[in-house]
């Protein structure tokens, strides 16, 4: 018999070798019908997997991240099966689940076009309707290689050859389709009833431009047709909000072939970015943080101590100075620790709250780059808190409240996820238990709903992740709070306790924006480029009806500039209707139209972004309204109101 522990800490005994699906059915047949997989002993498994040891189990629905991974991974196999039926000569590379759906990389002389999607989808429907069971089997290395060679699957042979000698080589079969795969998968092909193939792209095999270019087909799938319809509607809306398109149209930023993954911010983009950072600094100063700045380049020894040199080196940019190896920092933490170690500390200094908007560089694969969302150089709004064990709960509460304040400022709601001790971890269980209990207590004292992500903590400590929901329902993982017992040990950080002895501090890592560049991109899409007045790069556009009123328009411009209102004057010899339409396209919050009547009465005719024409007003009156919105940082974007 084995003992299975459920998320509510209840324990049941079962026969060794029982399927995960049968454990679910022992709870309720209805409960089992809605499941797609499970997390058993910290590892995601399929419902067809057997349980042979004591361990924790958490069952997964499609709504769970791991559930989506299983669902979409199986969907990729269904798509590959359909392609092989239609084009038997197709060679399969890899077909994983991704953040939103799945893809499969295909090597085929036939060039896929959008018209092929209907044929593939029709074949996928047949496979789903057949409801084939997914069966896992293993083969010894030589047999596995021979099996794939006979199937003429060259890419699979290469993958097998690159696996460690002691690796388990597993395959999944459904119907007459077999694929090299570690899994896990759905029990059968019948669940992904609603699916859509979305796009085709080129992708180098293994992301290496020296390898062959393959055809990557992207798709999405759901259990219900309504969910697919909602998703496709959201995609259409997302296209209109694409930050890459709007960034170009609104002169905010651009990307260049001379620096792939390194964004160029234009004057208007810098204005928005600076306003974000001004707000960030105000919030942190109010919360008792001090700000530091650490070097961009630090030597190899530092990164060896931190562990990055051995575990993250392929993502780092390296250089040599005076015959010594250095790295451009991919993280701010080690530099921040050197700042801590620069002085002696007492327990009376704690909590120490230290923030850094630090520039970091990471070598991302070219195929992964995506506007501002995935770049190679970005500014991380890090903060590191150095605390005593008894301060964990209160400091976590303070960090949650700070991040909550920031997200609500921009109109985001969010969900919280608490990730607990993984199977492999560093440190003492007692420390982990205290840390997890403190995180839970902080969340519960703030009356916040959260989901426990069992066993998904970092190896050095548990964490809380913030998943933002924007105004069209998309989610973004930005903020995180991580407890760390390990870096203080690796760097031999110390403080003098009340007992006069030296002790190790506990370290909290946290971000709110995450990457300022990525958060900027998210905001462009959240507001569809129509930034709130306080954040807009141009808050007022002055539109003279003709050249006769340029002098008066310049006078208005100077008065607004003196009030620190961001203003632009459109002095072009164009018709006023054209100027108004262009200003609307630029999503400017206010337009001041000036002509003979306005010049005579010392007024401006005001057009407000949402309400349109709101009439003639004195400059003092409308300036007061605008300044009030700026000072209060009102979230008056038409996308949120």
Write out the catalytic residue numbers: 333, 362, 380, 382, 384, 463, 509
Q: Give the closest residue to 334 by CA, choosing from 395, 393, 403, 384.
A: 384
d(CA 577, CA 560): 23
Burial-class residue 202 by CB neighbours within 10 Å (0-12, 13-18, 19+): exposed
Q: Are 120 and 91 in contact (CB under 8 A)?
A: no
DSSP state of 350: P
Residue corresponding to tokens 């411009």:
557
d(CA 594, CA 560): 14
Measure Cα distances from 238 to 242, 474, 525 in Å: 6, 9, 7
Phi–psi pair at 208, nearest 5 degrees? -105, 120
d(CA 412, CA 403): 11
Q: Are 593 and 605 in contact (CB under 8 A)?
A: yes
Tokens found for residue 129: 């309707």
Q: Parallel, antiparallel, or unpaired: how do β-strands 50-51 and 97-98 relate?
A: unpaired
Q: Are 234 and 474 in contact (CB under 8 A)?
A: yes
Q: Which residues of 573-598 are buried (b: 16+ CB within 10 A; e: fewer)?
A: eeeeeebbeebeebbbbbbbbbbeeb
Peptide bond into 351 cis (omega under 30): yes
Q: Are 329 and 297 in contact (CB under 8 A)?
A: yes
Peptide bond into 398 cis (omega under 30): no
Helix (H) / strand (E) element for 521: namely helix 516-526
Q: Are 516 and 523 in contact (CB under 8 A)?
A: no
Tokens found for residue 469: 């929901």
Phi–psi pair at 196, nearest 5 degrees? -150, 130
Residues with Cβ within 8 Å of residue 516, at least 6 apart in sequence: 273, 276, 277, 357, 378, 379, 380, 381
Tokens found for residue 153: 């699957």
Residue corresponding to tokens 């002055």:
542
């Amino acid at each position: 018999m084995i003992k299975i522990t459920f998320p509510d800490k209840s324990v049941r005994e079962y026969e060794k070798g029982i399927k995960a699906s049968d454990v679910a059915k022992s709870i309720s047949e209805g409960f089992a019908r809605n499941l797609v997989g499970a997390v058993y002993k910290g590892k995601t498994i399929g419902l067809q997997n057997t349980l042979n040891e004591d361990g924790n189990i958490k069952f997964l629905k499609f709504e769970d991240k791991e559930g989506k991974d299983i669902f979409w991974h199986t969907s990729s196999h269904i798509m590959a099966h359909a392609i092989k039926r239609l084009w038997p000569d197709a060679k399969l590379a890899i077909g994983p689940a991704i953040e939103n759906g799945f893809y499969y990389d295909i090597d085929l002389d036939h060039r896929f076009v959008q018209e092929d999607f209907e044929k593939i989808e029709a074949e996928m429907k047949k496979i789903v309707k057949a409801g084939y069971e997914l069966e896992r089997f293993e083969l010894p290395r030589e047999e596995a290689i021979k099996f794939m060679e006979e199937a003429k699957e060259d890419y699979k042979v290469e993958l097998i050859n690159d696996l460690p000698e002691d690796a388990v080589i597993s395959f999944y079969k459904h119907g007459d389709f077999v694929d090299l795969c570690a899994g896990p998968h759905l029990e059968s092909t019948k669940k992904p009833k609603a699916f859509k193939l979305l796009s085709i792209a080129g992708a180098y095999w293994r992301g290496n431009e020296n390898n062959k270019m393959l055809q990557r087909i992207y798709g999405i799938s759901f259990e219900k047709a309504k969910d697919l319809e909602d998703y496709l509607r959201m995609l259409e809306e997302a296209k209109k909000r694409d930050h890459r398109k709007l960034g170009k149209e609104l002169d905010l930023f651009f990307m260049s072939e001379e620096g792939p993954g390194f964004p160029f911010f234009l004057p208007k983009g810098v204005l928005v970015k600076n306003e974000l950072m001004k707000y960030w600094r105000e919030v942190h100063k109010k919360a008792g943080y001090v700000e530091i700045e650490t070097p961009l380049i630090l030597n190899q020894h530092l990164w060896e101590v931190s562990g990055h040199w051995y575990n993250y080196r392929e993502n780092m940019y390296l250089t040599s100075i005076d015959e010594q190896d250095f790295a451009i920092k991919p993280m701010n933490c080690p530099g921040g620790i050197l700042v801590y170690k620069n002085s002696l500390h007492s327990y009376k200094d704690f909590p120490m709250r230290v923030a850094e908007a630090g520039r970091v560089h990471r070598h991302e694969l070219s195929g992964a780059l995506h506007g501002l969302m995935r770049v190679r150089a970005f500014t991380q709004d890090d903060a590191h808190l150095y605390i005593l064990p008894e301060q964990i709960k209160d400091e976590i509460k303070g960090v949650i409240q700070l991040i909550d304040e920031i997200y609500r400022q921009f109109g985001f709601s969010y969900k919280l996820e608490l990730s607990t001790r993984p199977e492999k971890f560093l440190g003492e269980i007692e420390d982990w238990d205290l840390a997890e209990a403190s995180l839970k207590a902080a969340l519960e004292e703030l009356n916040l709903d959260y989901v426990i992500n069992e066993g998904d903590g970092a190896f050095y400590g548990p964490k809380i992740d913030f998943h933002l929901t924007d105004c069209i329902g998309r989610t973004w993982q930005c903020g995180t709070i991580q407890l760390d017992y390990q870096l203080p040990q690796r760097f031999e950080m110390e403080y003098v306790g009340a007992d006069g002895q030296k002790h190790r501090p506990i370290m909290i890592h946290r971000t709110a924006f995450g990457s300022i560049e990525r958060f900027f991109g998210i905001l462009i899409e959240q507001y569809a480029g129509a930034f709130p007045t306080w954040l807009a790069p141009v808050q007022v556009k002055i539109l003279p009806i003709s050249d006769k009123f340029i002098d008066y328009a310049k006078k208005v411009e100077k008065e607004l500039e003196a009030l620190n209102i961001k203003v632009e004057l459109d002095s072009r010899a164009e018709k006023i209707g054209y100027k108004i339409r262009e200003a609307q396209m630029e999503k400017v919050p206010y337009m001041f139209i000036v002509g003979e009547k306005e010049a005579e009465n010392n007024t401006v005719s005001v057009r407000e972004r949402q309400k349109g024409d709101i009439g003639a007003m004195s400059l003092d009156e409308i300036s007061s309204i605008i300044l009030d919105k700026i000072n209060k940082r009102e979230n008056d974007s038409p996308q949120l109101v």
